[in-house]
Amino acid sequence: ASKVGHPAPFPIELPYRLIQLYTFEDDVVLDPFVGSGTACIAALKTKRNYVAYDIDKNYCDLAEQRIKQFLQEQVTLFSEKNPPLNRAKLGVPLKAERKTCGSTGSPS
């Protein structure tokens, strides 16, 4: 585990593996001791939702910061891998394109 501003951080591999073993995609993971948000990030990586809280507001703030950073990194990775889409503007006619497709024959 790296230094993340919490006295007892643990490696993300721990919650990641347990979440994969005991939940399905889109399930909800409960983390009642959010700490630095490691389990929440593992939930996001495995396409799960999460609910998290902590008695110490500082840890809630730390977890929120780390989760936002993780999500921003994912957005950056996505935009680097995928070119921007061409978007139509409202009120502007679209250019029609017609392409000829091959024929498989007429139905009998």
pLDDT in tens, 93-108: 656 566 555 555 555 5
Q: At what angle do helices 38-45 and 13-22 cross, to 10 degrees?
A: 50
Q: Is residue 76 part of a domain?
A: yes
Residue 4 belongs to some domain of the structure? no
- CATH number of the domain that 70 lies in? 3.40.50.150
Residue-wise pLDDT tens digits, 10-49: 899 999 999 999 999 999 999 999 999 999 999 999 999 9
Residue 51's domain comprises 13-81
Q: Is residue 66 part of a domain?
A: yes
Counting the structural domains of the chain, the total is 1
The Cβ of residue 64 has, within 10 Å, a number of other Cβ atoms equal to 14
